[in-house]
A and B are shown apart, each in its own frame.
Chain A
Amino acid sequence: MRVEYINPFVEAAYNVLTEVLATEVKRGNLFLKSATKPVMGVAAIVGLAGEVEGRVLFDMSKQTAIKIASVMNMEELTEIDDLVKATISELANMITAQAVTKLHELGFKFDLTPPALITGDNMEISDQEVEALIVPMESPHGNIEINVAVRERS
């Protein structure tokens, strides 16, 4: 993944999560991954198009999703209902949009697709064609892994 793309995603994730959760979040070490990867339980996907092709995946456990949605909605939620799903989709949208805005300022033109939310147990994601950058974010409500797979159109 192009070096210039990394920081906008990391910064956007940090900024948005700090803001909506109103708490301290920590970024873990970035790493690259190309093999099949298990999904923790709730995954929001935002597609990227334009000068590049790829997608951003926000991966977290169901428990984390419920806790984050509770904080964002300022009410106690207990199960993955429509509100939780909408909240997590919105979170994914906010982070990706902010990253794309930052990238636009640097001169890279990205378009994004509406987020899709996938929930379930024992899921895996396969990226045979593209290497993914994993940005682990740690918050008191649980960990979120942001999985960015973008490549240049060649």
Chain B
Amino acid sequence: MSMTKTEQAKVPKESDRMKKVDFKMISFTLAGKDYGIDILKVKEIRKAGNFTKVPNTPIYVRGVDNLRGDIIPIIDLRTMFNLPAETKDSASLENIVILRLDSLVLGIVVDTIEKVVGISSDSIQPPHPIFGDINIQYINGVIENEGRLYIILDVDRIFGQSEASTHTAPAATAPEQTSVDAGASEAVIEAPTGVQVLPLDLQFVGETLAAFGQFQLSPLNREWVGSRLAEWKKSRQDRGLDFQLTQKDEADEFLATFPSPFTGRLWSSEAATSLAKLMSFETASLVVWNPGCGRGYESYSLALMIQTCFSEKNYKIWASDNDLLSISTAPSLILEDEDLDLSWTEYTVQAKNGLQFNSELKAKVLFEFHDVNHLNPMPEVHLAVMRDVISYLKPSDQDKLITELSDKVRLGGYLVLGTNEKLSHPDWKAIGNATWSVYQKI
């Protein structure tokens, strides 16, 4: 019943959105493809030709033209974008869109000018990272209208390049920009390296990371991505490379410093003790939730921490992962000698395949093949540990899980996130340190 109700509620909303027209653009074609420019940037359209050639200019500058007494530069967008342009004899007229940008009036030559298209700015989709490395910066988004796909050009960025480097991020404050998470990303991040990270850069990198690395930019990890991007930009510039991520291994390299300490191995006993010192529990028994446990190192580390630092407590750890291969090996994890902190040797036994944890410790951890996005049939927990898990869920699933955490963790209970993940939520108080990102439910 409840499902049908919400569906009904959604339907009229959807159609409202379709009808709302708050963005108009001039549509035109370049080499047979449809493009659009925000109508507020367009002064007029006209036909002109026989431009006065200006020597020593880039190849895409066709020359200057006299627009009723104003001398304006004429730029051939097709040459600029490396698209084929049919060569017309100098006498014939070209289709010109005259743009008025902040301080500049200029004309662009296009193939044909079509019409004015009214759309809803909500339905503009952000450009996909695979569009390319440089051109993506010049695209506001993509929109489908009456069966045709229009690429909306960001003319401020295309023609405002030289100013962008001297002024403080004029493009970033352009009003027509449609950012998926505009609300959260106004701030320009100034890194110690002196390299600026614009909100738009952050958005592009976020989208690329989602496409290549399944990593999802969100308020949880924005701070890290921002400072990492500044660092990345600096190191790429030093090597003379563009900072955009174009391949999977670049995305992997970018993310290499994201994982928390002790990812994929057992914690050291000092690290476990330092985490334990941040927490205190009143009840005699503890329930711990550890989704995304991978091969189980984290879950066993937690068991060892409780065993040594909260020795009087009875506890149970619910660990799960949606990777069948990793989770299958977790219940009988084989330990390498170098993995293991010496003070924990007493919890291990020599089995026929190698060193394993003893059955007493194993009995405390329940490993499940489970997707955290599905229903989590858990009792209330005292401690939830999900380091570097939420950042890899879709933004909507992230919100859902954070809400669920507020429900599932008892008052006064704790949540441990990845070292580079920061949660700001009224239900949670940060009590962590440099290694541990710990939050207490308040």
Contact = CB atoms under 8 A, between A and B. Distances in A.
Interface of A: 1-4, 6, 30, 32, 34, 128-131, 133, 151-152, 154
A3 B374 contact: no
Nearest to B321: A3
Contacts of B377: 129-130, 151, 154
Contacts of B324: 6, 30
Given A32-B369, A133-B369, A3 B379 contact: no
Contact of B369 (A6, A128, A129, A130): A6
A133 B374 CA distance: 12
B296 to A, nearest CB: 9
A152 B368 CA distance: 10
B422 interface: no
A131 B328 contact: no
Nearest to A154: B379
B317 to A, nearest CB: 13
Interface string B373-386: 01101110000000
- 6 tightest A-B contacts by CB? A34-B374, A131-B374, A3-B367, A154-B379, A32-B371, A2-B368
Main secondary structure of the interface of B (DSSP, over half): loop
A136 to B, nearest CB: 14
Contacts of B271: none
B394 interface: no
Contacts of A151: 377
A128 B324 CA distance: 22
A128 to B, nearest CB: 7
B328 A34 contact: no
B231 to A, nearest CB: 38
Nearest to A7: B328
B371 A3 contact: no
10 contacts: A3-B327, A3-B328, A6-B369, A30-B369, A32-B369, A34-B371, A34-B374, A129-B375, A131-B375, A133-B369
Nearest to B371: A32
Interface in B294-323: 322
A6 B324 CA distance: 10
Contacts of A152: 366
B366 A2 contact: yes
